[in-house]
Amino acid sequence: MADTAGRNTRPLALHVPEPRFRPGDAVSFDDLDLPAAGAVGRPPVDAAPAALRDYPYTLIRVLDPEGRAVGAWDPRLAPDRLVRMLRGMMLTRAYDDRMFRAQRQGKTSFYMKCTGEEAVAVAAAHALHRDDMCFPSYRQQGLLIARDWPLVDMMCQIYSNAGDRMKGRQLPVMYSSKEAGFFSISGNLATQYPQAVGWAMASAARGDTRIAAGWVGEGSTAEGDFHAACIFAAVYRAPVILNIVNNQWAISSFSGIAGAEATTFAARANGYGVAGLRVDGNDPLAVFAATEWAAERARGNHGPTIIEHFTYRVEAHSTSDDPSAYRPADEARAFPLGDPIERLKQHLILIGAWDEARHEALRAELVEQVRAAGREAEALGTLSGTAFNHGFETIFEDVFATMPPHLKEQSEQMAEERRVAGV
Amino acid sequence: MTVMNMIQAINSALDVCMTRDEAVVVLGEDVGYFGGVFRATAGLQKKHGKTRVFDTPINECGIIGVAVGMATYGLRPVPEIQFADYIYPGMDQLISEAARLRYRSAGEWTCPITVRSPFGGGIFGGQTHSQSPEGIFTHVAGLKTVIPSNPYDAKGLLIAAIEDPDPVLFFEPKRIYNGPFDGHYDRPVQPWSKHGSSEVPDGHYTVPLGKAAVVRAGEAVTVLCYGTMVHVALGVAAETGIDAEIIDLRTLVPLDIETITASVEKTGRCVIVHEATRTGGFGAELSAQVQERCFHHLEAPIERVTGWDTPYPHSLEWAYFPGPVRLTQALHRVLKD
């Protein structure tokens, strides 16, 4: 301890941010500053970053409390497109529910739901071209679903079974699909962010027309890779959209531990001289509109955009997590931005393109679609018990393009040890 | 054929690869207009354009991370890390991403990048311009590690590395950029032009990865080395008359174990030399493998002549650097038994 006796200055105090509500506390978001839908103007896509400085401090919202689409950011999508977006979000939720249950049934080791965050991935996918390249984190399964990637293929990855194209090497939910423009997910947080920028730089350097998009959670914005990505994106005006999914929680740490007490996550864009938008992440139309704006900006060589999607992680971080240990059980219900599926449903009903009966019929159809896919995937094996779905020698494959001598030797050693042991 | 030093050979390799393959791009701190702090990329931007040779922000995580992203697009990036001592901020991208991408995606994605980085001491570089971190990377499954010791190999190995479908770390011993160095810091340095390996073909050729070179045939003892230490070992053999078989490993991963074991089975003795610190260094792996494979041929314990287990000092550099005095003593110890 420093000797402060005899000094006139007051002792310093370390500030350690603490969420306002812990388990058992009464939750209220009444003081959250939420601009009304339609309140924020839509700047031209070629606006200079200096002219966009206020956007990171507000919230772009399109759907009002009655479900009307209002304001300059209304993307004016045709009803059939809206229904497809709704379907993608509902299918994502049905898939999550089934895979969560599969983990609890011991069919796999691990799962992560994206409940409440379906719009962030599904609506964004609708605003991108099919051949734009996505560098997701582990909670954007909606991108694959919105791009009509087969559920069976995703489930085979979850089960590490014979149909798993990754040969059972990756933890469940770490999907990869080159064909769907969905980059291989890594467990290391934020590493995909500079990679997304690099992909976009390559596209620009080669005179391509495709753009890239990356996703991180608000917790991962604290990683050094976040800074690396932002500075490279800014310097080279890379055609990239850098999404921050602010779902308020990084496992047990509230967003204040990632810096949210001092500023917004979108506002970091200002420091880099990059366009920054902050969006109601539970408003599918707002997510679509902001992504569409950023994509047009990137395609016009006007540079990158950082988008903060303000949302809430409704479920546990993963199947290994129990959120009741660190936050109130009813906090998700109290979150004032509601549920993205319910909000789009309400809008569709309001414009006369949807009704409760059709909604319920679609929900039942999607549950059945997931169930059928589940049966198909499980027929190729699950991770239960001691099932080995891939040949032992596959451990040594794909470390390098061609297997070097030391790996051949180790492969033979393993085979011999197993033979001697009689297993 | 042109007489080249190591830097010119590396520059030539980059130029050849960029001319042959549009996908090859060079990025790093000061590599563009200026041509690199060691001149290894001089003239490349002017010839191949700014979108293929460009300066980056001072951010090694970004340099490697962006290179990985460019590789997934389909390019063949050759990022430069100005000194190997500064590669650490990019390690997560190298270890967690570049090295594992092919494996974790079962070949759906690959990462054909070549990370060039000057390394090694002997230049009064102090703590952060002298390190030899190769042992950190040889421990990582999925990375190849290559270290040339002369202009001919530097060009051929670098072209092979750039054309390799997997991520390669290419460590350039900066002490011998301009001329071979035998460890006699008190004598004038000879330029590469007086050395046979400075005759470098102007066009395309490769030196295969994973193949060592016997740079001096001998019967008494096998010396395993790479980089600058190849020249220290050659100098010691010439001075002492010890009939050492000196093997320049050239590639640490994948290792040419056949050349090594054939030599040790012949000589029965083995000395391993590297600049890097001893504990957990690549010499430990070499020693273990020689012991496992050549146990019944060994007539003396395997010796390791390495940097001490300390950070690299500035003023006491020549007490730290594993020079001819220390290597000679080790050879005599091994030959005494």
Whether residue B167 has pLDDT greater than 60: yes
What percent of chain B shows pLDDT beyond 90? 99
CA distance, residue A338 to nearest chain B CA (Å): 36
On the question of pLDDT at A2 being above 70, the answer is: no
Angle (CA) B126 B128 B131, round 5°: 90
Selecting from B57, B74, B105 the residue whose C-beta is nearest the C-beta of A166 gives: B105
Kindly list the distances between the CA atom of residue B162 and the CA atoms of A35, A159, A180, B156, B200, in Å, as whole numbers in the listed order. 53, 37, 28, 10, 18
Indicate yes or no: CB of B69 within 8 angstroms of CB of A398: no
Which structure tokens are listed for A144? 């694959």
Residue B267 near residue B334, CB atoms below 8 Å: no
The pLDDT tens digits for B222-245 are 999 999 999 999 999 999 999 999
Helix, strand or coil, per DSSP, at residue B172? strand
Q: Do A232 and B57 touch (CB under 8 A)?
A: yes
Using one digit for the tens of pLDDT, what is the confidence trace for A79-126? 999 999 999 999 999 999 999 999 999 999 999 999 999 999 999 999
Please tell me the predicted confidence (pLDDT) of residue A3: 64
**CA–CA min distance B70, chain A (Å):** 5
How far apart are the C-alpha atoms of A176 and A155, rounded to whole Å?
A: 12
CB pairs under 8 A between A and B: 146
Task: Provide the pLDDT confidence category of residue B175 given band limits of 50, 70 and 90.
Answer: very high
Residues of chain B with C-beta less than 8 angstroms from the C-beta of A187:
96
Name chain B contacts of A232, Cβ cutoff 8 Å.
56-57, 59, 62, 66
What ipTM was reported for this prediction? 0.97
Q: pLDDT averaged over chain B?
A: 97
Average pLDDT over residues A235-253: 98
User: Which of B50, B56, B103, B166 is the best substitution to test chain A (most A C-beta atoms within 10 A)?
Assistant: B103
* pLDDT of the residue at A79: 98
Cβ distance A194 to B69 less than 8 Å, yes or no, reads yes
Structure tokens at B335: 């030959």
Q: Does A129 touch chain B (CB under 8 A)?
A: no
Contact list in B for residue A198 (CB cut-off 8 A) is 65-73, 77
Q: pLDDT digits over A316-363, tens only?
A: 999 999 999 999 999 999 999 999 999 999 999 999 999 999 999 999
Is A231 near chain B, with CB under 8 Å? yes
Out of B70, B101, B107, closest to residue A199 by CB: B70
Q: Which residues of B touch A227 (CB under 8 A)?
A: 59
Which residues in chain B are closer than 8 Å to A202, comparing Cβ atoms? Answer: 25, 69-70, 73-75
Find the CB nearest A405 among B56, B104, B254. B254
CA of A21 to nearest chain B CA: how many angstroms apart? 35
Distance in angstroms (rounded) separating the CA atoms of residues A396 and A408 = 8
A6 CB neighbour count, 10 Å cutoff: 5
Query: What pLDDT, on the 0 to 100 scale, is given for residue A7?
Result: 74
Dihedral angle, C-alpha A417, A418, A419, A421, nearest 10 °:
90
Split at pLDDT 50, 70, 90, the class of A238 is very high
Q: Does B257 touch chain A (CB under 8 A)?
A: yes
Span B118-137, pLDDT tens digits? 999 999 999 999 999 999 99
CA distance A184 to A385: 27
CB-based contact, B169 to chain A, within 8 Å: no
Q: Do A191 and B97 touch (CB under 8 A)?
A: yes
Give the pLDDT band (50/70/90) at residue A8. confident
Over residues A250-262, mean pLDDT: 97
Question: Using a CB-CB distance cutoff of 8 angstroms, which residues of chain B are in contact with residue A170?
Answer: 104
The arithmetic mean of pLDDT across residues B163-177, rounded, is: 98
Question: What residues form DSSP beta bridges with B224?
Answer: B247, B272
3-state helix, strand, coil in chain A (%, to 5): 40, 10, 50
Residues 6+ apart with CB under 8 A from A168: A160, A161, A389, A390, A394
| The length of chain A, given as a count of residues | 423
Q: Which of B116, B133, B300, B146 is nearest to B212 (CA)?
A: B146
| Under 8 Å between Cβ of B127 and B138 | no
Write out the catalytic residue numbers of B: 129
Q: Is the pLDDT of residue A153 over 90?
A: yes
What would the pLDDT profile of A265-323 be if each residue is shown by its tens digit?
A: 999 999 999 999 999 999 999 999 999 999 999 999 999 999 999 999 999 999 999 99
Which pLDDT score is estimated for A388? 74
Chain B nearest CA to A28, separation (Å): 40
**DSSP output for A344-370:** HHHHHHHTTS--HHHHHHHHHHHHHHH
Mark which residues 79-98 of B lie under 8 Å from A by CB: 89, 92-93, 96-97
State whether residue B56 sits within 8 Å of chain A by CB: yes
The two three-digit tokens of residue B187, written as one number: 């004598």
Contact by Cβ (8 Å): B256, B210: yes
Determine whether the interchain pair A404/B254 forms a contact, defined as Cβ–Cβ distance below 8 Å.
Answer: yes
Q: Which residue of B has its CA nearest to A132?
A: B73
What DSSP string runs through B244-310? Answer: EEEEE--EEETT-HHHHHHHHHHHS-EEEEEEEESTTSHHHHHHHHHHHHHGGG-SS--EEEEE-SS
| pLDDT at A386 exceeding the cut of 70 | no
Cα–Cα distance between A168 and A149 in angstroms, integer? Answer: 19
Q: Which chain B residues contact residue A197 at CB under 8 A?
A: 62, 65-66, 69
pLDDT at A1: 56
> How many residues are given for chain B?
337
Q: How far is CA B52 from the centre of its chain?
A: 25
| Residues in CB range of B220: below 8 A, 6 or more apart | B242, B243, B244, B245, B267, B269, B335
Taking CB atoms and an 8 Å cutoff, what residues of chain B touch A163?
none
Tokens read off for A140: 């954007």
Interchain pair B104, A184: CB under 8 A: yes
Alpha-carbon distance values, B2 to A394, B17, B49, B192, B202 (Å): 46, 18, 25, 12, 6
Q: How many CB atoms lie within 10 A of CB B237?
A: 23
Contacts 24+ apart (CB under 8 A), B29-33: B29/B55, B29/B56, B29/B58, B29/B63, B29/B80, B29/B82, B30/B55, B30/B82, B31/B55, B31/B56, B31/B80
Task: Measure the CA–CA gap between A221 and A190, rounded to whole angstroms.
Answer: 7
pLDDT band at A187 (very low <50, low <70, confident <90, very high): very high
**Nearest by CB: B142 against A197, A232, A399:** A399
Q: Measured between CB atoms, which of A188, A197, A401 is closest to B66?
A: A197
Task: Please give the pLDDT value at position B189.
Answer: 87
Taking the Cβ of residue A411 and every Cβ of chain B, the question of whether any pair is shorter than 8 Å is answered with no
Cα B196 from Cα B194, distance rounded (Å):
7
Euclidean distance between CA atoms A162 and B271, whole angstroms: 48
- Residue A385, pLDDT > 80, answer no
